[in-house]
Every structure is written in C-alpha cells, then in structure tokens.
A and B are shown apart, each in its own frame.
Chain A
Amino acid sequence: MNPTLAGILFIGSLVLALALVYRPFGGYMYRVYTGTGHLAPEKFIYRLIGVKADSEQRWGTYVRSILAFSLVSVLLLYGLQRLQDKLLFNLGFDPVVDHVAWNTAISFVTNTNWQAYSGESTMGYLVQMAGLAVQNFVSAAVGMSVAIALVRGFARSKTDLLGNFWVDLVRGTVRILLPIAFVGALVLVAGGLIQNFNGIQTVATLAGGEQSITGGPVASQEVIKELGTNGGGFYNANSAHPFENTTSWTNWFEIFLILVIPFTLTRTFGLMVKDKRQGYAILAVMATLAIASVTLVNLAEISHNGTVPQAVGAATEGKEVRFGVSNSATFGAATTLTSTGAVNSFHDSYTALGGGMLMFNMMLGEVAPGGVGAGLYGMLILAVIAVFVAGLMVGRTPEYLGKRIGAREIKFAALYFLVTPALVLIGTAAAMASPEQRASMLNTGPHGFSEVLYAFTSAANNNGSAFAGITVNTPWYDTALGLAMVFGRFLPIIFVLALAGSLAAQQPVPVSAGTLPTYRPQFVGLVVGVTVILVALTYLPALALGPLAEGIR
C-alpha cells in the first residue's frame, strides 16, 4: 500500500474508533463520578483509609488531600527504589542512586514519567509493579479527579463543596482505569507483548555475540502507561522496543489508549454541565489542534528536509521500520499532545520542524487532548481566558457556562497560565547559562539547544518524553527537572481547584441573547486562536533559536 494512504487510513481508523466509544464511554465516566453508590471493594478501601465517602470537601481540603496523597506517594516510591536491594523481586539490581530515585519518584507521581534511567537494567519487578505501575494508575486518577472537581465548579452553584478527592481517586482507579487496563493488557498480550516473570535471560545474537534480555510483566505495565497518559516504559527504548510494541496494530491500539480518556472526558464534561454542546465545543477545539498537529508532524517527516533524509528518501533515522515514518510521526504527535511521553521513535532524530512541532504540542500546555484530566482542565482554563478577552467584546462581564469571570477567576486562570512558561523558560535559561549544564548536550548549534528546551518543556508540562541526545542523569538535571515536574504539576492543580471553588460559590447568570454562546464554531475558532497565539507569543523567541533556526532554509 502507498505509505501516504496507509498513514491516512491509520489516522482515519483511529478517529473512527474514538468516535465510536465517545458517547458510551463518556456517559459511563459521567455515571462513575456522579453516582452515589459504592462498590464493595471501594467501601473496603474507604474503611481502610478512614474516609467518610459520603461527605464532600471544600476546595482547600481537596487540594490538601491531593498534596498529602502525592507526598506519601513520593516518599513510598523513593523508599522502594532506595531499598530495592533489600526487598524481593529485585532481579539483583542495586538501590537506585539518590538523585535518580528522587527524580523518578517525582516523575511518576506527577504523571510525567520522565525516565533518567534505563528501566530494564535499573528497576526490579517489585519497584516496577508495586511502585511505578501503582503510580501510573493513581497519578492518572488524580488528574481526572481534578478535572472533575473543576467541572463540578462550573456545574454547581452557591456551594463551597467540590466533591470528595478520595472517592474520586478510588472510583477513577477502580471503575475506569483498572477494568480497561485489564482488557487492554489481554489485547496487548494477544498482540505479542510479553507478560512473564522470566528475569534476565542471556541469548546468543545472530552476529554471534551475547545479549541480556530482561523479561517481565510488560503488557500489564504497557497498557496503563498509555491509558493513564503516563509514558514510563518498562524498557529504555519505550514503545520502540518490540516487547512493548510489537506490530503496527499494537502501535495503533496504544495510540488509541493514549487518546481515549482525554478526548472522551469532554463528553463527561458536557453531561455534567447539562449541556452536551459545551462538551462538543471543547472536543472540537482539542480535535482541531490535534488534527492540525498530527498533519504537520507527518508532513514535516514525510517531506524529509535535511541532507541525510533527502539522500535516504525519508526521515527514517531513529524510526522503527516496522512502524514506518507516518505511524511513528502520528505516535509522536499523540504522545506529546497528551502528557504521555511514551515514544516509539527517537524525537531527537525528527526533522527540525517536526521535532519543533512536538515541542509546540507540549507548549500548548498539553490540552489537545492533553493528559487524563489534565488536558480537560488545561483546556477549560484556556477557554476561560479566551472568554475573558473576547467576551468583553460582546459588551458584558465575561461569563462561561453561566459563571462570571471576574477578578478572582481571572487571577487563578492567569496564574495557571503563568506556571509552565515560567518553569520552561527559567529552567532552559538556567541550563543554557551554565557551561557545565551545556556540556550535557549531545549536539551543537540550534539542535543542541533544542535538546535542553525539549527537556524542560517536557518536564514542566509533565510529558516525560525526551528529545534524547542530552545526558540528563546528572544531579543538576535530576534536581532541576524534578522541580519543574513538581511545580508544573501541583501549582496548576492548586490554581484550578481554587478557580473551581470560586466558580462553585457563584450564582449562575441566566443565558440570554446577550450571552456569548460557547458551543458554536465561532467559539471553537476563538479558543483555538487564543491558544495558538498566546503559546506562540510565549515561546517564539526560544523556538526561533532552536527548531526554526535549524529548520528554515
């Protein structure tokens, strides 16, 4: 088959599959988060952790619950890594070095899954399964709970209660992530992914050498890695590794898992605010940005600018031949448009503009469709900012979903918007100002700079993918990127929940002909425009010195 046609079919069938599950799955998640009953295992968990499941929390309590839970998670994960040699199922690995352990603990708790280590030669089964995989579930559930709390802020009125974090966390994990992960893992095993406890095996290679190959429960790790938009691979090669991603159709299925929750949450949002059109509008904004991005990355890779790609006939460097250029490009776009950060190809080897586009995807704040939960709340913040700027132009105090966007609301939205650019720009500048940190770059010139810019963009946006090339398991990078991940995750969450609290307390404004309709194509275009322009204005100078300087001829 013609590769272009194959690429289009690949993307088209993904869109179709997502469209098919959109309504039923969105409705299911709506029922999960709004239902009043508790399942038996849930009741057991609530009793275990001493939570009154039927009481609700104010925004401040909700925030404190998240922070407390995350702190405990970081400590547990750090401890597991540092004590690895003394615990079971360690495959004989040493304890993880302190700065790497801190970085990894932060990375998995913040849903970033930046990996400053090689999975198969660092982490034993216990850390992988009881540490990293658990965080893959719960960090995703945390993101979803924050999004749901924000949506409750819009949907509710004259209340200071946003729901119960522990209930949202448990339900997200038990009712949404676990069942899908279970089925998904079976599908992946059928696709040829391994699922064993065979330890490290030494095999003879064709060339006559010897190679150590680590076996493990890969399929079960892989499914939540994608579904929870985590991205931390069992193997260092991540989804490029044949045991993590065997064939073109497992590749397709993994992209589907990455996108399914973030896109479908817009349906849940529409149902919760009792106006499905609002959900469709947000979906349309996400889809417009996503389709444009996927197209541009594909074009950049297929048109293969650059000396070597032109000589070869395709930008094949760093891409698996079993996937091909287009399916790699699509995976790359999907993983950076969400906060996944799994890779099935080497982003450092993308064409300058293709790689720049991957960075731009993350710079958008990962909202198209973004991480599980994080994408929805990020996009709603952008909608609030768009409504504020443009809403004034209809001659009313701006309002979104019946809630006024006043000084308090715009303060939290603006603070949210400030966090990631500040982390990315300050982090990048700090690294570039120091000759020692510059030494970590693999390349020189604009490409070397792109590696640094990509690293901080990825960490601050909780993506976790690496441009690679750059050597990051140094104490400085582990610390700096770790801080970027912590602040990039929790500061926005605090601002989102503060915003939710202030929205929930409001009395809704009734809709009239004077109200800006937020479900029409006009509004979709507006949010897309505001998002792209604000992000471009923030990052254009940095991008100019990196991918643009390299890519424009």
Chain B
Amino acid sequence: MTTQVLNTPPEKAPVGRVRAGLLDPKLMLTSLPDAFRKLNPATLWRNPVMLIVEIGALFTTYLAIKDPSFFSWSIVVWLWLTVLFANLAEAVAEGRGKAQAATLRRTKRDTLARRLRGWKPGGSTPRDAAVDVVGGPDLKQGDYVIVEAGELIPGDGDVVEGIATVDESAITGESAPVIRESGGDRSAVTGGTKVLSDHIVVKITQRPGESFIDRMIALVEGANRQKTPNEIALNILLAAMTIIFLLVTVTLQPLAIYAKAQNPGVPDSLAITADGVTGVVLVSLLVCLIPTTIGALLSAIGIAGMDRLVQRNVLAMSGRAVEAAGDVNTLLLDKTGTITLGNRQASEFIPVQGVFAADLAEAAQLSSLADETPEGRSIVVYSKEQYGLREREMIVGDTGEPTAEPVQLHFVPFSATTRMSGVDTPDRQIRKGAAAAVMRWVRENGGDTGNVGTLVDGISASGGTPLVVAELPQGGTARTLGVIHLKDVVKAGMRERFEEMRRMGIRTVMITGDNPMTAKAIAEEAGVDDFLAEATPEDKMALIKKEQEGGRLVAMTGDGTNDAPALAQADVGVAMNTGTSAAKEAGNMVDLDSNPTKLIEIVQIGKQLLITRGALTTFSIANDIAKYFAIIPAMFAVVYPGLDALNIMRLASPQSAILSAVIFNAAIIVGLIPLALRGVRYVPKSASKLLSRNISVYGIGGIIAPFIGIKLIDLVIQFLPGMS
C-alpha cells in the first residue's frame, strides 16, 4: 500500500508562550474594548460590588446633567472610570489567556485521518488494512487510525501498535521529540502533535470536539470559569460589607438633614443642603466605602492564578483544584525521577583488605568502559572524578602510549544468567556484578572472598546496591578487589525543598517500590517525613484515603494507568503529560513538562493565589479609614466645625477632599492590577511569619497608603476650578 502524507503541519517555530511577569502596557490597550463591553449590567451583575458602583455612576450622571457643576462632573467621570478600571483588570487577565489560546488555536486545524476499517489490535498488519480517509472531527471514541511519519495525529488517544517519535512542541513548547509506544505508560498521544518517524496505530479516546487542545483552549481562555469555593465565600463577605455600607450611607440622610436643620445659619454647600447630603457626595461616600479594590480585582486574581500555572506548563482542570493545592497537607512523591535521579550511581569504592582503593577504581572503571547502562557510566565518571583516572590512560596499548581504541580488550556483557559483566585483558579477567554471582566466580577460580560479605551487607543495610569487583590474573587465582557502592542519588536541593515544605506545614511522603530498608535510607537522606515502601497502587490508594480520613488534603503525581484511581482520589492529582490518557483523565491537573517535582511549585501557586486575595481584601478594608477622614469632615465640618479636627490630612476644600478620595479609590485599582496578576510575593514560611509580614504590608500599609495618596492627589487637584 502506498501512503501519501496527510495533514502536513504548517511550517512554524515552536509555540512561544505568553510570559508572566510585569504587565504589558500593550495588553492594557488591547483590553480596553473588552473593558467597555463589560460595562453591560447583564455582565456586571456577577460582581455586585462593581454593579453598585455602576448604578451610582448612572445616578450621579443624571444628577450632574440636572444640576451641572465642575465638581459633580469630575465625580461622575471618576466613578465611571472606577467601573472601567475594574473591567480592565478582568479583561487584561483574560487577555493573557486569550493570547495563549490563540497560539494553541493555530495548532488546532482540522486534520484528515486514516481510519482503519474492521481492524483490531493484534490483527493484520495495519498498513495492509483497509482505510477510510475521514475528517478528524468525525472520529469517534474507539476508532483506530494509522498515523505515518510527518503527519499530525488527528485526535487524542492511546498507541495500540507501533512505536514512534512524536513532536509535542505544539502542546508543551518543548522542541525535543518524545517516544510514544504501545502498551505501558508512554502510550498516550495528543491530537495536533506530529509523528516524526515510523508509524503508529492510535485508538481514539476523545469524544468529538473534546480534545485535549479544545479543553486547554477553554481553560486558558477561562470560558467556563466557575467561581471557586473560596471565591464564593469571599464574595459573600464582600456582599455583606457592601450591604452594611449601603445602610450606612442611606441612613445617614435623615441624620444629616437634622444636623443641618439644627444649624440654620449655615449656608448650603456642594456637600450638604437642607435636603441633606447631596446625591453626588453620598454616592461618592458609598463608592469609597464599599470594597471596590478587591471587588474589582477578585476575578482577575483567580484568572491570573490559573494563568501562572499555564506559564509553568501546568493545566488545571478547575480553579477549585488550584485552590485545593494551597490547602494541601500531604504530598505523595514518587521516588524515582522526583526525589532521586532516575538511576542508581556509584558513590563509593570500598576495597577489601590488602587492596588499594586506586586499584579497585581502576579495575572497576576498566570493566565498565563498555557498560552503557547508567550505572556503568556512573562508575566510569566516579572513578574519573574521585581517582583522577581518565578513560584513555587506562587503555594502554603495546607502545606504552595511551590509545583511543581499546584494541586488546574483550568485553563480557552482562547477562541475566551470569548476573555479572566484565572485561578480559591480555593479562587478567575482571568481573563485576551481583555479590553472590561474583563471589561464586571467585570461589570457582580458587580465590577467597575474604571480608567482602561484611562490606556487601553493610551497603545493603544502608539502602544501597553493592556490586562486587573481582579479578583473575592470567594463570593465578581469583581475588575480590572490593565493592562498588551504588546508590540512588537524591536530586540536588531536594532536602532544602522538603525543609521548605515542612515550614509550610506540608508533610512529604515518598512512594517507592524499593524494600523498606532501601526506602528508609533514601527517605532519610532526602529528608522526607515518611515513606511508603514496596508500594502497590492499592497501597497508594489506601494511604490517600487514610490521610483524607484525618482531614488532610493530599496531592500526588502519577502517569500510569494504575495510578488513575489514586489520582482521582487525591485532592490534587497531577497527571504527567507523558502518561496514559486514563491518568490524564483521572487527575485534575496535567503537567505538560511531565516533571513530578513541579507539584511543589503548584502548591506554592495555590497558596499565592489565596494570599493575594486575602492581602487585597485586607488592603481594601483598611483603606476605608483614610477615606472617612477625608469625607466626613468634608460633609459635616460646615455644620459642626469641631469635625474639622478629623481633617488630619488638611485637605484643601470639601470638594477637593471628596474628589481626591474618589480618584484614589479608582486609581488604586489600576495601580494594583500588576500585583493582582503577578500575585503577592510568596516565600515559604510558617503561617505565623507569613501573617506578620502580610499584615504589616497590606493591613498597616493599607491604613497608611491612602492617607498619603489622597493628600498627594489633593495637592494637585486643589488648583482645578471649583475646588475651593
């Protein structure tokens, strides 16, 4: 069968990600139309605080038209700006997601697929099977398609036959191709990625129109954004405060009328007349008091939190999952790849009595030169680093000069039956391998194993893997040289990260298939709080349930199909993008980089999200104090001169005081957009220390900042007409 290449992907550079960080001023500008569109009350009703501001703005507009003055029009303009700024914050946050979605959309084009007709796995050679060429969107769950080199994979699914390298840069931004093969935990492929070599048969697992990329686009765009539990709770509190301040301002009117009536000599002012406080000023007071700052930024904070995850190549399926990440009490971390480097490495050469360490190192290195396993490479590297033995010097040719080619060496490869490997040189044989096997070889060749048994036991007890090295000189008897200590190497910096976790109150549990002794040793070295050895998927599930029964929230990563139930059970389940589709379906986040260590970052982003919300709420409430000091004397000092003592900012006039407060209230929203999008700085610390810091910055700072801000604005605007 001849195949022509379907669906050649467009020529393009790997997808660039929209970077986090400081606010792009261009984005502010491009989001403006959206900000205006959001003025529609039907959109705004989801945000009661800003809806009230909009109603107030409408009302004052009416008042200003009826009874125009420079002062009232200034207030009107700034009230509208307040709503607009709030919309802008949300639009900018969404805009970043939209930019992200646009780059994803470019990769999502309608593809054609070669659907196999009547083919079943294990059946005939797929290339010989009958095919229908159909559009990608027409594929259903359970269809089998064949994808050739150079083609785009038409939909999400699992490889059921074949092995291929796949370019997944469209999704992950990572240009290095990855291997996808049938069976095992590397079988999932994503629609829109490109097969680079070979051909594979994919069983489609997605429903039409619900591909991973579709979901990704919806997520980063925030199309179906639901309010998270904590956001709902915060909204309730904000609504309650809005009601209180609404009551405060509305019930102020009869009090003001009475106060004015008690002082008949006082002329009417822009703030207070015989009919009480003027509408424009009353609305100004209300808008300044209700928590507009947090009300304006609340949804932007949530969107930006999701966005920060996307920047780190993590897709959260819901905001709820991000929030839960902040609450996590227990982290389950797989040992291999997360805590330790993937493979065991040589960490020590222990010679038996009477052998120099250097000789052992030399023999070990020589025997490992052809050993391409990571363990073998690590022995070569270790002897080079520790004993200064370089590969070339080892291989001494007939001339006595080092040569590049090991001409006289005959390497004996590792086999499962001998359980050892080695090298034969003209003058000796060297063997290294499992202790029992090598020791038997020594005894068979007339040698004595000496104290090597003790050394082996010692290494095993410490959780390492011993490799015994022995030699058999030409015509002599064999002797053991010593033991290589192979151990799991804990990734650099893990201990510190776990230390951080502990300070944050998070317990780390290492999951490993190793025996308890090995597991314990590695757990101690890495500094995790606990470990689960010889772990089966059932054990993992049981551990999660046990933790959850104690009221703890559990986060874990997983990639295999057998991880899926645990991923679904965990409060935060991060599936690796390289994993099976079952795992990706079960988790509530997908890490496109497939880096299990990222769980720690995810937790920090979750915390940062909650902290940002709390900090801006505190700031918003604390701001009100200064606004009272501006507005109360401005309203009532004409009636009760004693109240002028409250004008501690010495604002120029009642009009300038009220306008300054309104301007500050609006401007602070724009000023805080970058903080809302970036999130407040988060350093892993105990709750108590975090609170102290954030209270002093956002609580005390929130009390002081508006005093300064309002005064500065007043210094400028007092020169405007109508301000005295």
Contact = CB atoms under 8 A, between A and B. Distances in A.
Nearest to A444: B262
B506 A405 contact: no
Interface stretch (A91-99, A221-229, A513-521): A513-521
A409 B643 CA distance: 39
A407 B611 contact: no
A292 interface: no
A422 interface: yes
B306 interface: no
Interface string A444-467: 111001000000000000000000
Given A389-B621, A392-B614, A449 B255 contact: yes
A394 interface: yes
Contact of B255 (A406, A534, A536, A545): A545
Contacts of A395: 326, 504, 606-608, 610-611, 682, 687, 690
A512 B501 CA distance: 11
A415 interface: yes
Q: Is the interface of B mostly helix, strand, loop or mixed?
A: helix
Contacts of A551: 642
B643 A510 contact: no
A296 interface: no
Q: Is the interface of A mostly helix, strand, loop or mixed?
A: helix
Contacts of B551: 402, 507-510
Number of chain A interface residues as a range: 35 or more
Interface in A506-553: 507-510, 512-517, 520, 522, 526, 529, 533-534, 536-538, 540-542, 544-545, 548-553
B265 to A, nearest CB: 13
Interface stretch (B244-252, B344-352, B358-366): B244-252
Contacts of B552: 509-510
Interface residues of B, number: 76
B643 A514 contact: no
A422 B243 CA distance: 9
A415 B239 CA distance: 10
Most buried by B among A510, A513, A542: A513
B643 A394 contact: no
Contacts of A541: 248-249, 252, 255, 285, 628, 632
B237 A414 contact: yes
Contacts of A422: 243-244, 247
A389 B614 contact: yes
B692 A522 contact: yes
Most buried by B among A414, A534, A536, A538: A414
B58 interface: no
B603 to A, nearest CB: 9
A397 to B, nearest CB: 5
Given A390-B614, A514-B506, A533 B622 contact: yes
B691 A516 contact: yes
B576 interface: no
B698 interface: yes
Contact of A417 (B240, B248, B250, B608): B240
A388 interface: yes
Most buried by A among B326, B505, B694: B505
A394 B326 CA distance: 10
B375 to A, nearest CB: 39
Nearest to B612: A392
Interface in A318-339: none
Interface string B487-511: 0000000000000001111110000
Interface stretch (B165-173, B228-236, B463-471, B656-664): B228-236
Interface string A404-444: 01110111001101100110011011101100001000001
B687 A537 contact: no
A467 to B, nearest CB: 16
Given A396-B326, A449-B258, A552 B643 contact: yes
A417 B236 CA distance: 12
B10 interface: no
A407 B618 contact: no
Contacts of B507: 512
A392 B259 contact: no
Given A406-B233, A407-B233, A537-B624, A520 B695 contact: no
A421 B253 contact: no
B232 A537 contact: no
Contacts of B614: 389-394
A289 to B, nearest CB: 18
B271 interface: no
B546 to A, nearest CB: 12
Contacts of B615: 392-393
A294 to B, nearest CB: 24
Nearest to A536: B625
Contacts of B628: 537, 540-541
Nearest to B548: A507
Nearest to A553: B642
Interface string A299-331: 000000000000000000000000000000000
A542 B503 CA distance: 46
A392 B506 contact: no
Nearest to A543: B632
B248 A538 contact: yes
Contacts of A393: 611, 614-615, 618, 690-691, 694-695, 698
Contacts of B608: 395
Given A414-B237, A549-B636, A392 B611 contact: yes
A396 B686 CA distance: 12
Given A390-B691, A522-B691, A429 B254 contact: yes
Contacts of A510: 329, 550-552
A548 B622 CA distance: 21
A515 B642 CA distance: 46
A553 B522 CA distance: 73
Given A396-B327, A533-B625, A512 B643 contact: no
B601 to A, nearest CB: 14
A385 interface: yes
A526 B690 CA distance: 14
A538 B233 CA distance: 21
Contacts of B694: 393-394
Contacts of A389: 237, 614, 617-618, 621
Contact of B643 (A390, A516, A549): A549
Contact of B636 (A417, A513, A520, A544): A544
B323 interface: yes
B589 to A, nearest CB: 18
B691 A418 contact: no
A425 B233 contact: no
Given A397-B327, A516-B687, A542 B255 contact: yes
B130 interface: no
Nearest to B698: A393
Nearest to A424: B251
Most buried by B among A417, A522, A537: A537
Contacts of B237: 385, 388-389, 410, 414
B289 A428 contact: no
Nearest to A551: B642
Nearest to A537: B624
B422 interface: no
Interface of A: 385, 388-397, 402, 405-407, 409-411, 414-415, 417-418, 421-422, 425-426, 428-430, 432-433, 438, 444-446, 449, 507-510, 512-517, 520, 522, 526, 529, 533-534, 536-538, 540-542, 544-545, 548-553
Given A390-B695, A425-B248, A513-B686, 11 more contacts: A390-B691, A392-B615, A393-B615, A407-B229, A409-B233, A512-B329, A514-B504, A522-B688, A533-B622, A541-B252, A549-B643
30 contacts: A389-B237, A392-B610, A393-B690, A395-B504, A395-B607, A395-B608, A396-B327, A397-B323, A397-B327, A405-B233, A406-B229, A407-B229, A407-B232, A414-B236, A414-B240, A418-B243, A422-B244, A429-B253, A429-B255, A433-B257, A444-B262, A446-B640, A507-B551, A509-B329, A513-B502, A514-B506, A541-B632, A545-B259, A549-B639, A549-B642
